[in-house]
Chain A
Amino acid sequence: MEAGLDSRPALRGKAVPEDGRWWFSLAVPIAVVGLWVVLSQVGAIAPAVLPSPRAVVVCLGEELWSGRLGDDAIASLFRVAVGFGLAVLLGIPAGLAMGHSALARAVLLPAINFFRSLSPLAWIPFAILWFGIGDAPAIFLIFMATVFPMALATTAAVVSIPSVYLRVAQDFGLCGWERLAKVVLPAILPQVITALRVTAGLAWLVVVAAEMIAGRDGLGFAIWDARNGLRMDLLVAEMIVIGIVGVVLDRVLLRLMTLPSVRWGYER
């Protein structure tokens, strides 16, 4: 009786309207750049206030060609990967423990809420004092910025698992590690992926700030260096790269949301 229905999961059903809107997404960037071009062309903005688009493009080309911008981006991405990776490796298990045990919640939640409310930038002096200058302080700051929200999001996801899933697990003899792997983790995955996107974005914000003060390289340090050298064209070129890398990072994590086994979490 269901033969008349489309038997394929409609995951990419919106292909046609999305195609049309592709141009819409470029409207604002084009308008902003266009305005910038016009204003600097007629001399309405002094180059000392905002460099001309031409200067920025030339600078961007030079920096990319010389490899400096690429090296800085790689240095920053490495710090994010390590700091954020450690936060995920620690935050998710901590969240699972807190989700399962009221005792763990009672012990850990007050401290986690305190540290989550503390701006990670407040740690910068200690980061330098303890770790000096280089990769370590930036990794530490990224870790401090992301581990607490990750743990809290995981806790919330575990606590909100419908009890019927656990009852079914009991009926089918799933317990211990098997229950964790086959029921708990898949049940929280959609929420965990959302949390990963949010905290990865946070990590990308923090790394720039960390490198400005505690770095000798990386995009954040490059920003600071350009400011000190009064190289506004370089500054804008670097800001553009930071923004683009951030968007690409988010797009990559967004791909996780299209996994068939997590779609249920976003389509209700």
Chain B
Amino acid sequence: MNDKAVRLQSVSHHFGSVEVIRDLSLEVSHGEYVAVVGPSGSGKTTLLNLISGFLEPSSGTITRRGESRMVHQQDGLYPWLTARENIALGLRTRRGTAGRPGRLEAMLDLIGLNGFADHYPHQLSGGMRQRVELARALAGEAEILLLDEPFSALDYLTRVRLRGELERLIRERPRTVILVTHHLEEAAQLADRVVLLTGRPARIRCVLEIPRPRPRRPTDPAVVEAVERLLGELGADPETSAIIPPDHVARADGGGR
């Protein structure tokens, strides 16, 4: 069947002679929340760019059902537009309701930047810019959200609050989310499934389902347990890896060819 929101079939990608992604297959259902975790430079941003259609894979196929919006790891805001104008860009494609002021104000409220609506990105801090970019992506009606470390520049409390808000917005209007993060706890708290990537070239190292409905607290036992498993999977120690029951960890077979 082909009702998946995103489907990657043995996708590989090279930049010149650098192999970044190798034979990666992944399916994401509509309304599913998937977190992608992997070492720096492993190809996570590349993966999102492939899914958004900005890059063509060197081989393999990618199908996407529905419009996607990406929150970029850095400097995805247009510097010549104010925070308000950037968010308005996100509303643009909302048919019929485009430019509705209530929605714009609601998004500004959400990110707590009402006083800064008419500031340009270079007049905002890194965390403020990330919040504006998140608001811009959430303002529209896009089916699929691709979030590339959307919280990385935020302090802990803002980060926790914004995760909660994102959670609420997604409950209000369910969307498919693919979240790239370095933060294991964040991945385990937010996602239905955590995909752990290997170093470059990226392959799927393991996939961990979190068997507890969202929303969850960061201290939820299921979250804590998942973090421990992920840590165990990342650690080289065979004893810690051994505690992961095979029924929860679906291993990618043998590291590919």
Q: Assess whether B115 is in contact with A3, with CB atoms less than 8 Å apart.
A: yes
- Asked whether any CB of chain A lies closer than 8 Å to the CB of B109, the reply is no
A27 to B79, CA, bound (A): 39
Q: Which of A44-52, A54-62, A133-141, A260-268 contacts B (4 or more CB under 8 A)?
A: A260-268
- Asked whether any CB of chain B lies closer than 8 Å to the CB of A33, the reply is no
A149 to B121, CA, bound (A): 30
- Asked whether any CB of chain A lies closer than 8 Å to the CB of B22, the reply is no
Q: Assess whether A171 is in contact with B52, with CB atoms less than 8 Å apart.
A: yes
Checking B76, B92, B119, B140 against A9 with a beta-carbon cut-off of 8 angstroms, the contacting residue is: B119
CB-CB nearest in chain A for B115: A7
- Asked whether any CB of chain B lies closer than 8 Å to the CB of A172, the reply is yes
CB-CB nearest in chain A for B113: A2
What is the minimal beta-carbon distance from B119 to any residue of chain A, in angstroms?
6
- The count of chain B contact residues (Cβ–Cβ below 8 Å) is 32
Q: Mark A165-201, 1 if CB is under 8 A from B, else 0.
A: 1011011110000000001001101000000000000
CB-CB nearest in chain A for B69: A171
Q: Mark A5-35, 1 if CB is under 8 A from B, else 0.
A: 0010110000000000000000000000000
Q: Assess whether A164 is in contact with B75, with CB atoms less than 8 Å apart.
A: yes
CB-CB nearest in chain B for A173: B93
Q: Assess whether A164 is in contact with B72, with CB atoms less than 8 Å apart.
A: yes
What residues on A are CB-neighbors of B201 within 8 Å? none
Known A2-B128, A167-B49; judge A186-B78 contact (CB<8 A): yes
Q: Assess whether B54 is in contact with A167, with CB atoms less than 8 Å apart.
A: yes
What is the minimal beta-carbon distance from B158 to any residue of chain A, in angstroms?
8
Checking B53, B72, B93, B119 against A168 with a beta-carbon cut-off of 8 angstroms, the contacting residue is: B72
Q: Assess whether A268 is in contact with B93, with CB atoms less than 8 Å apart.
A: no
Q: Assess whether A261 is in contact with B53, with CB atoms less than 8 Å apart.
A: no
What residues on B are CB-neighbors of A7 within 8 Å? 115-116, 119
Q: Assess whether B80 is in contact with A187, with CB atoms less than 8 Å apart.
A: yes
Q: Assess whether A264 is in contact with B79, with CB atoms less than 8 Å apart.
A: yes
In chain A, positions 231-255 with a C-beta closer than 8 Å to chain B are: none
- The count of chain A contact residues (Cβ–Cβ below 8 Å) is 27
- Asked whether any CB of chain B lies closer than 8 Å to the CB of A122, the reply is no
Q: Mark B49-81, 1 if CB is under 8 A from A, else 0.
A: 100111000000000000011101011101111
What residues on B are CB-neighbors of A267 within 8 Å? 122
What residues on A are CB-neighbors of B53 within 8 Å? 170
Q: Assess whether A2 is in contact with B69, with CB atoms less than 8 Å apart.
A: no
- Asked whether any CB of chain A lies closer than 8 Å to the CB of B218, the reply is no
Q: Assess whether A9 is in contact with B75, with CB atoms less than 8 Å apart.
A: no
- Asked whether any CB of chain B lies closer than 8 Å to the CB of A106, the reply is no
Q: Assess whether A167 is in contact with B72, with CB atoms less than 8 Å apart.
A: yes
Known A164-B76, A168-B76, A172-B90; judge A264-B121 contact (CB<8 A): yes
- Asked whether any CB of chain A lies closer than 8 Å to the CB of B89, the reply is yes
What is the minimal beta-carbon distance from A71 to any residue of chain B, in angstroms?
41
Q: Assess whether A264 is in contact with B112, with CB atoms less than 8 Å apart.
A: no
What residues on B are CB-neighbors of A42 within 8 Å? none
A168 to B71, CA, bound (A): 9
What residues on B are CB-neighbors of A265 within 8 Å? 79
Q: Assess whether A261 is in contact with B52, with CB atoms less than 8 Å apart.
A: no
A196 to B188, CA, bound (A): 53
Q: Assess whether A167 is in contact with B70, with CB atoms less than 8 Å apart.
A: yes
CB-CB nearest in chain A for B77: A168
What is the minimal beta-carbon distance from A248 to any residue of chain B, in angstroms?
28
- Asked whether any CB of chain B lies closer than 8 Å to the CB of A162, the reply is yes
Q: Assess whether A264 is in contact with B54, with CB atoms less than 8 Å apart.
A: no
Q: Assess whether B92 is in contact with A172, with CB atoms less than 8 Å apart.
A: yes
Taking A7-B119, A164-B72, A171-B70 as known contacts, 13 extra A-B pairs with beta carbons closer than 8 A to each other, sorted by chain A number, are A7-B116, A167-B49, A167-B54, A171-B68, A172-B89, A172-B92, A172-B140, A173-B92, A189-B80, A261-B120, A264-B122, A265-B79, A267-B122
18 CB-based A-B contacts, threshold 8 Å: A2-B116, A7-B119, A9-B118, A164-B72, A164-B76, A165-B78, A167-B52, A168-B78, A170-B52, A170-B53, A171-B68, A171-B69, A186-B78, A186-B80, A260-B120, A264-B80, A264-B121, A265-B79
Question: Measuring CB to CB, which residues of chain A are less than 8 angstroms from any residue of chain B?
Answer: 1-3, 7, 9-10, 162, 164-165, 167-168, 170-173, 183, 186-187, 189, 260-265, 267-268
Question: Measuring CB to CB, which residues of chain B are less than 8 angstroms from any residue of chain A?
Answer: 49, 52-54, 68-70, 72, 74-76, 78-81, 89-90, 92-93, 112-113, 115-116, 118-123, 128, 140, 142
